[in-house]
Homo-oligomer: A and B are copies of this chain.
C-alpha cells in the first residue's frame, strides 16, 4: 500500500511536469500517460518488470482470443538491442537508445508463408495495438514512461530478427524513466515540451449516421 501511494505521488508529480493534457477526468494510468522522449540511460529494468509488462500485453483482449502478437525484447547490452539501434531513423537515434528497454511488436497476419495465404485474423493489427496499449499503460502504472515509435528500417530489422513471413513487424515501445533534459540534444529535449493536442470529439464521434 505504501509503495502504491508513493508510485501515485511519482505519477502525479511527473504529470505536472508533462505537457498539459485536457484529460483531467480520466482514470489513471490513462490520465497521465504521454510519450516522453528524454530517458535516464543509467536506469535498467529488472527481469520481473520486463515480465510484468509482457503479462499486461498477454491479458489484452483479442478477436476470438486469437492473441496474434509476437514481441521481441531489446534491452541495452543485448544483440537484439544492437539490431534495433542499427536500423533506427535519424530522429529516433537520439532518444530511443537512452530508454531502459524496447519491446518490438509484430502481428500474425498470414496463416501461411505463401504471399496468397489467407489472413490469420482480420483484426491482427487492431489486436496488437491493444496489447501494445496494455503494456504502455502498465508501464505508466509502474512509474515508468513508454513511447511508441515506428521510425526504423522494418525490412532490415525483420530480416536480422528472423521474423517469419507469416508476421509483420510493426512498432517499438521504448520504456524507461524520465531523464535530465540537459543530458540530451536540444531538439530531443524540446520534444517533451510540445503541447499535447487531439482532434475534438465532434470530428470523429457520431451519435447518428456519419453525415446526419
On A, residues with C-beta under 8 Å from B are 21, 23, 25-30, 33, 35, 51-52, 54-56, 58-61, 63, 65, 67, 69-73, 78-80, 107, 122-123, 125-130, 132-134, 136-138, 141-142, 148, 150, 160-164, 170-171, 197-199, 201, 204-211
Which of B23, B28, B204 touches A59 (beta carbons < 8 Å)?
A: B23
Which of B59, B148, B171, B208 touches A30 (beta carbons < 8 Å)?
A: B59
Copies in the complex: 2
CB pair A204–B52 under 8 Å, yes or no, is: no
In angstroms, Cα B164 to Cα A55, docked, is 37
CB pair A125–B129 under 8 Å, yes or no, is: yes
Pick the most buried of A73, A126, A141, A171: most chain B CB atoms within 10 A of its CB. A126
Query: Which chain B residues border A130 with CB–CB below 8 Å?
Result: 129-130, 132-133
At the interface, is chain A mostly helix, strand, loop or mixed? mixed
Which of B27, B69, B171 touches A29 (beta carbons < 8 Å)?
A: B27
In angstroms, Cα B199 to Cα A179, docked, is 35
CB pair A61–B80 under 8 Å, yes or no, is: no
Query: Which chain B residues border A171 with CB–CB below 8 Å?
Result: 63, 123, 126
CB pair B123–A126 under 8 Å, yes or no, is: no
Query: Which chain B residues border A211 with CB–CB below 8 Å?
Result: 162
Which of B127, B164, B197 touches A129 (beta carbons < 8 Å)?
A: B127
A132: min CB distance to chain B, Å = 7
